[in-house]
Amino acid sequence: MFKLSQDADINGTCLQGYVMAAPAALIEKFGQPQECDGYKVSGEYAFENDAGEVFTLYDWKCTTLYESDAGVTPSDFWKQTCQRQFNIGGRTNSFDFIAWLKKQILL
């Protein structure tokens, strides 16, 4: 089982996979994302499982924060109801986390 964890230590996590999701659906399910670097990532969620493994879910270079002519501001990005690609970060294989996440956002 995974739970949202704003206090999770995400240092040392790196790209483990991808998932398609509507930004607005993520907000509906998990609340507002945490602010990030204000450059390549406009929002991020951190999760932990029962074993203490940490996973992150974040947009990557999707908004005008990274490229001013990208066409979508962070505010508008997170309102979108169409699916967008999100990155999954972690220190271990993310297969179980991605499967769990897909079930959560399809409910």
What pLDDT digit, counting tens, does each position of 25-51 carry?
Answer: 999 999 999 988 888 999 999 999 999
The pLDDT tens digits for 63-103 are 999 988 867 999 999 999 999 999 999 999 999 999 999 99
At 107 the pLDDT is: 56
Find out whether 95 and 19 touch, Cβ atoms under 8 Å.
no
Quickly list DSSP for 40-94.
S-S-EEEEEETT--EEEEE--S-STTT-TTSS--HHHHTT--S-EEEEEEESS--
pLDDT at 68: 83
Distance CA(58)–CA(86), nearest Å, equals 6
Which residue, chain included where needed, has tokens 């609340």?
31
Q: Which residues face 20 on adjacent strands?
A: 85
